[in-house]
Amino acid sequence: MAAISDLTPTELRRDLHTYPEAGWKEFRTTALVAEELADRGYTVSLGGDAIDVDQRLGVPSADEVEAAEQRARDEDAPEAYLERMDGVTGLVAEKAFGDGPVVGLRVDMDALERPEASDESHYPVSEGFASRHPDEMHACGHDGHTAIGVGVAREIDDGDAFDGTLRVFFQPAEEGGRGGLPMSETEHLTGIDYLFALHLGLDNETGRVVAGYERPLSNAKVDVVFTGESSHAGKAPQAGRNALQAATTAIQNVYAIPRHEDGATRVNVGQVHSPNAQNVISELARMRVEVRGKTAAINEYMLEEVERIVEHAAGMHEVSVETSLYGKTTTFTADEAAVDIVADAARSVEGVTEVARREDIGASEDASYLIERVQELGGNATYVGIGASNPYGHHTARFDIDEASLGIGIDTVAAAIRDC
């Protein structure tokens, strides 16, 4: 492949779309971006310098991560940067252009673990940039986000209208809410005057910009494993310790966690597996639980309820239980100053047809931790929606983005940065 510095944002997005990397596996993506920005004079902090390694959530097994790193190597990721990453993905690139304000931009890089549609009517197929990784796909637009992040870094670098410091966060593992928290717990958040995060699509047509997407539900994902003892269901039913009965009791009670007077709650159970044969008392049941709350406090309430329920479901059936946090996000409200800047900037951008100031973002989002941290330290932040027409839903096999949105995204954010 060509160096990414030779690629337009659209070409870059297509390259990333071709080689999607799921959470904590973004080795090629990180290394390519780092190379170009380092070449441009950005200071690049990689892996453990960009992320609090100990606070990472939902990290795949060491074998899986190593395989992903090797794959990146096989797919021409620059070796020097792979080495600097030392097994950990993520990147913060920073460059000072003057004594003006410190402005952060956060984009996410990870793909989803799902196959992509393979028929010719799917644009990435007909244009030849569909995923070459069987069970990974950029089905949420993060390929575009990364391309915008690079595009903004180029545009600010090439122009002369910004006299502050630009710090771009290329965050890993947004899916599941696994990378935001450990990235927020670094010194890179210090001193930021304005932070922008962004998302393409989200049911907004190309040309629509939401300057202040806000108030996502706080979210937590917990993996639960019940371990019992098997026995023959016909000969000695009482001798087992039934992990499935524990899981079943937990599931019914988890869905029945009381509503909360202070605002919305959500709860769901996914990926339940109890693999024993029919004539064997279940010795293993796995389940993945997700809760949400309007506020971080309500989310904590839900999480504590889940913890207590699974503990006692296990005790009731004399099985053991282990829980582990898979991912977590919080909530935020956009700052008026930041919303103003983005709204004004967007109105000046070619291709922008509608600018909304504030809207509730239904989904959960771990940029929330970076935003919260910036706000705690006195900065202003907002989360920006960049319309990108596409007829299929996020996370589906046929998801795609209107590439016209890439330029709009770059121009809007770059204009906002210059206005800070």
Interacting residue with its own copies among 261, 350, 378, 391 (CB under 8 A) = 261
Footprint (CB under 8 A) of its own copies, residues 169-208:
176
As to burial, measured by CB atoms within 10 angstroms (0-12 exposed, 13-18 middle, 19+ buried), residue 122 is: middle
Q: Which residues pair with 291 in a beta bridge?
A: 220, 267
User: CA-to-CA distance for 89 and 27, rounded, in angstroms?
Assistant: 6
- Three-state secondary-structure class, residue 132: coil
Interacting residue with its own copies among 248, 331, 375, 390 (CB under 8 A) = 248
Of the two residues 168 and 313, which places its CB atom closer to its own copies in the complex?
A: 313
Interacting residue with its own copies among 18, 146, 242, 375 (CB under 8 A) = 242
Quick one: which segment of 69-77, 92-100, 303-311, 332-340 binds its own copies (CB under 8 A)? Answer: 303-311
Footprint (CB under 8 A) of its own copies, residues 327-366:
362-364
Interacting residue with its own copies among 154, 312, 357, 398 (CB under 8 A) = 312
Question: What is the CA 28 to chain-centroid distance, rounded?
Answer: 17
Q: Which residues pair with 327 in a beta bridge?
A: 221
For the bound state, the minimum distance from the C-beta of residue 393 to its own copies, rounded and expressed in Å, comes to: 9
Across the beta sheet with 218-227, the strand order is 284-293, 218-227, 320-329
Detail the residues annotated as belonging to a binding site for Mn(2+): 140, 142, 175, 199, 395
Nearest C-alpha neighbor of 192 from the set 379, 18, 385: 379
Other Cβ atoms within 10 Å of 402 Cβ, number: 18
Quick one: which segment of 85-93, 153-161, 312-320, 397-405 binds its own copies (CB under 8 A)? Answer: 312-320
Query: CB-hemisphere CA count at 13 Å for 124?
Result: 31
Interacting residue with its own copies among 256, 324, 353, 354 (CB under 8 A) = 256
Other Cβ atoms within 10 Å of 373 Cβ, number: 23
For the bound state, the minimum distance from the C-beta of residue 416 to its own copies, rounded and expressed in Å, comes to: 28
Per CB under 8 A, does 398 bind its own copies? no
Residue count, binding to its own copies (CB under 8 A): 64
For the bound state, the minimum distance from the C-beta of residue 258 to its own copies, rounded and expressed in Å, comes to: 4
Interacting residue with its own copies among 1, 3, 239, 377 (CB under 8 A) = 239
Spell out a b/e string for 262-279, using b for 16 or more CB atoms within 10 Å of the CB, else e. Answer: eeebbbebeeeebebeee
Binding site residues, its own copies, CB under 8 A: 176, 217, 219, 221, 233-240, 242, 244-245, 248-249, 251-253, 255-256, 258-261, 264-282, 285, 288-290, 292, 301, 308-309, 311-313, 315-318, 326, 362-364
